[in-house]
Structures are given as structure tokens and as C-alpha cells.
Structure 1
């Protein structure tokens, strides 16, 4: 774990002392948009963009899923970093064939030689401009669902106009309590900060469990980006967050509706191949030495995402 300071790599953990033991995630730095408008700096062009991801990271996982759902594999190339994030941060097993970088922080300094901040995945890279377009997962998936969908499959809109206000509101609550909430529990360095995150997490999971008893997806029969944003956290819950991040009131598999919901999404065409429990477990347990100093990776648990889910009974 580390960061760049004025373009120079430093191997430093998160500073939670100044926040009273609370983990605070920094905002993403590159927030450019791809547009179909004439003269756009980042136009809609097949073969122009390159996505850099980790199979371990839930934020990057969102973009891998949307690249699959929107059939953008031929239009947007993909590089996967090694699951271990050690002294030099994210690294490529072999030099990235598009950027030539050995470490992800070199991609960031190629875009901004004086960049200061965390070096994170996903990264959407412009091959022609040789710069980072965007490194905010929530915006990248909307680019794939929006203007970039013209390069693949635009038939299903995961962010429909009539639900946008509701999706945004639910996303914000799930992000704070669940997506980022597991990290707030796992990276806390005070008992009070940990317990606050823990209780907020399970209160939200209880609410989602009840909600998913009334409909197949978060918005009834309508599958939206909110479902996929939640899925990437839930699919990691029992393997990592329950033990490694001390989110141990109960396993996800003990929530009947949430557990069926995760299996339902996992079994959709193409999604299973985006999930790598090997990368996920090795990344968290080996890379996060502050949380797991021994770097021992648990053998279990045995999780059967392919088991029948029965969620189709809730469809209208």
C-alpha cells in the first residue's frame, strides 16, 4: 500500500491518527468524460480506450462486469494487475502491453508527472492521448452504460431516467454503509470507529435483506447499476470481509434473501468468469499486512455460488 507525492512513490499506509481511528477514502482524481459530441476531448471510438483492473478489487470489478454486460470486450482492451499489492503498489505480472508500465503508479505519472494521491484501480486510459480519462469506478460504468455502449450493446439501460433519483439515493446509502463500510470497519484503528462502521453495515444489510424479500432486485424486476455495485461487495463478504475485516455478526450465507440474490447475479451469463476468489483472497490477506501481519491466506470457506437460488419466483 502506498501513494505518490509530487510524482514520487512512497510506501505508506492510511493515516487514521488524524481522523480518530476512522478510515476516510480519498476522492478519485481523474474525472474526465467520454462524449459523442463533435470535438470532444475523449470521443467515442472503438479501440481507443484501455481498462486497467484488478480481479481482487470490488471497485474495479464493477467495470469488468459492465464491460462484459455491454459487450465492449472488442472495443475496450483490458489489462489485469497482479493480485498482490506490495511495496510498489499494484504491479503488472508482465509490463502492460498498452502503457509499457511495470507498476500502476507509472501509469499515473505518465498522465501527471506531479500527481499526488493514491494509485487505484480501475483506470480508463486513452491510448491516443496517452493519459488517464477516469479512475472513478462509478463514473466509468456510467460511461460504459452511456456513450460507450454505442460500441457494444446499448439494448439494456442500467441507469434508466425514471429511476435515476432513486438509484442515486440508494447507491449513496449502500456506498457509505456497505461498499465503503466494510473498509471503514476493517481499516479502523480505534474501537469506537470500528463499532460504528460495524453496526451501520449490519443495519444496512438487514434493510437490504428485507427489501430483497419483496422483489428480485433492488428495484423490483428491474436490474440496475445499483445491483451490480452491491454485488461486488457481497460476493467478497464471506471470503474476506467477514473474517479479515471483522464484519462477523453473521455470514452473508445466513441471510436467505441476500444469499439467493448474490447467487442469482453470479449465475447471469458471463458474470461467474469475472469472479476470482483466488485473486480476492490473496490480495486482501497478503497485501494488507497492517491488518494481517502473518500474510496467511485462509483455505476456506467453501462457497457454492452456483447453487440454485430460486429468485425467479419473485418476478412479476
Structure 2
């Protein structure tokens, strides 16, 4: 996740960049295949949270042939690590005997070593793991999430939304890139800055962009177009953590998102959308940041507030038009309730039941 370092924070963006695609052409491309892979993530990590939400919205937890209530095997199963980890790896301490029930491993690190015996880099989530070999296929969250929304389309549920419409991709990509540099990674540039000047520079960039987004969302319900896209998914995972973690822990404290009316309404709108807010676990989020980042919070004391009930208050964003879900077939609809095996204690899914 990052550590305090001298000067500005520089995120390592070198990943296992294989892809799982509908029509692989050899090399480092793998075929989309139901049941072959397992998505390993954590409710705590925003980069993994992107993949968790996308899997849920497009229905890779139920697939195109699901029976009533979403029964049947998931085309892409999901493993969830606990909120804390040591320097070696994320662990499956939420499961019985701390063993992932499908992969049979205690540490995600084992799956990286099954792929590369001398894997030298950090063990990150999300990771797509091939079930039979127990080897990581890719941990590149950038291409992975886009591919889940597009390349995995043959395994999407009936009525799945199009989160990356072809006619909006250029605009979505531009929005995603700018928000990544200034907001998604911007909060980390504040939190892990190693000197005052670097922190103040990151702080200024972050809040300048939040001010732009506040203005942008004054007259439109979503970031791009009239429906939820990947641009919204990617911004949501940062905004939902902002007041609970980044405001205090990362010193992003000019103001809270709750003090920015348009962003706050937008955040509550997304949070209350099925398939988005029900993937949130605020306890996991706070446990992770406040306990794992010992260089920032050496006492390990975890903040109590804010009250998550605020996420459920009316947002009045419907007045701006648009609807949450869209696809070209005209049958887009919200996902059903999450599968029981995908729910962990503290998930907001219980509040949506």
C-alpha cells in the first residue's frame, strides 16, 4: 500500500501484466473460462475494491445461466483476505482455519510463488489466480477491471450494465487518468509524503481536483454520460474512504467530503446503488489503514467515527436525470443480493437486505 519515504510518494506500477480475454492471441493472454480463475481481493484495499464492485455489477458472481436467486456456481469465484497483513502477504484469516476454501492456501504470497518461485515484488490485491495451478495470472488492477467489464461479457449475467460503453471510452479514460493522478493516488501522495513540501504540493493538487469535481457534479448525476461507468466505480472507492480514513490518517484535512454538497450527494447516491454500497466494509477499511501503516500511526489506535448511517440519508440526485444502469440491449437492471459466501462480518450488504 505504500510507506513514508523521503520526498514525494512514487507508487510502483509494475505488475504481472498478463490478461484474461475472450479471444487470446498467445503470449501473455489467457482465455475467459467459467470456473477457471478466482478473484482474490480485500474489502480494505481500494484497488481491489474496484474489481469487487465490477464483478458484482456485471454479474460474474452469478453468470448468464443463474437460477432463481442467483444459484449455481459463479463464473468467477471470489476470495476475500482479511483487513490486516504483515510484510509478507495478505492472508485469508476471515476463512475457517485461515485457509482459502478454494485455493487451499493461507497466504496470497503462495499463489505468487506458484507463478514465480523468486517473485521479488510486493504481494498485492486484486489478483486473478488460476484455480488448478494456484498461480497468479495477473495483479494489474488497471487492465483487470476493464477486462472484467468487457472481455468477460459472455459470462455476464442477463441484464448486466455496460460500464464501459464504446462511445464514451475516450471520455471515461481521460476522467479515470486525471482522477487517478490527483485523487485516487493523490491521497497516498499526501499520506506517504516524506517532507513538508511534497505533502503540501500533493495536498494542493488533491483539493484543486476535488473542487473541480464538485463543480462538475453540480449539473450531472454521474461523471461521464447518464449512467454509472467505470469512472464512477474508480472514484467511489476513494471517496467512500475519504472521511473515515484519508481526512485524518493521511492528513487530507482541508475539509471532509460530507462538507462538499455535490460530491457528498454523489457519494451517497452511489453508495445506495445495489452492487456498490453493499460491497463496502468500513470496519475492514479502518482496521487496515490504522493498523497496517505503523509508520504513520505507530499506536495502532483505530478511529471510531464517522457514523456510517450518514451514507443512507437522502441524496436527491435523481433530480439531475440519468439512471444507474444501462446497456445496449435495453434490459439493464440492478444485481440481485450478494451471494452468502461473498459476505463477511461488517459488510454493508446486511443494510441492503
Same-fold call, TM cutoff 0.5: yes
Alignment of 1:109-258 (within 5 A): 109-153=113-157, 155-258=160-263
Point out the more displaced range, 182-191 or 217-226.
217-226
> Aligned equivalents of 2:25 and 2:276: distance in 1?
35
User: Out of 315, 318, 322, which is 1:312 matched to?
Assistant: 318
Measure how far apart 1:99 and its partner are: 2.9
Measure how far apart 1:91 and its partner are: 1.3
> Aligned equivalents of 1:202 and 1:212: distance in 2?
15
Measure how far apart 1:110 and its partner are: 1.2
> Aligned equivalents of 1:221 and 1:36: distance in 2?
28
User: Out of 5, 10, 13, which is 1:24 matched to?
Assistant: 10
Measure how far apart 1:96 and its partner are: 1.9
TM-score (norm 2): 0.82
Alignment of 1:65-80 (within 5 A): 65-73=53-61, 74-80=74-80
**1:220-279 CA distances to partner (integer Å, 9 max, x unpaired)?**
413210010000000000000000000000000000000000111111113222000000
> Aligned equivalents of 2:101 and 2:114: distance in 1?
15
> Aligned equivalents of 2:86 and 2:307: distance in 1?
27
**1:47-81 CA distances to partner (integer Å, 9 max, x unpaired)?**
11101101000100011101110111111111111
State yes or no: 1:61 paired with 2:58: no
Contact 1:51 1:76 in 2 (8 A): yes
Point out the more displaced range, 61-70 or 215-224.
215-224
TM-score (norm 1): 0.91
> Aligned equivalents of 2:140 and 2:263: distance in 1?
26
> Aligned equivalents of 1:121 and 1:38: distance in 2?
24
Q: Over aligned residues, Cα RMSD in angstroms?
A: 1.7
Measure how far apart 1:39 and its partner are: 6.9
Unaligned runs of 5+ in 1: 2-12
SS at match of 1:34: strand
SS at match of 1:261: helix
Contact 2:114 2:133 in 1 (8 A): no
Contact 2:9 2:189 in 1 (8 A): yes
SS at match of 1:68: helix
SS at match of 1:118: coil
CA change 1:121–1:159 in 2 (3 A) is: same
> Aligned equivalents of 2:99 and 2:53: distance in 1?
24
Contact 2:84 2:292 in 1 (8 A): yes
> Aligned equivalents of 2:24 and 2:210: distance in 1?
44
Alignment of 1:26-41 (within 5 A): 26-37=12-23
CA change 1:183–1:216 in 2 (3 A) is: same
State yes or no: 1:104 paired with 2:76: no
CA change 1:79–1:38 in 2 (3 A) is: closer
SS at match of 1:242: helix
Contact 1:242 1:251 in 2 (8 A): yes
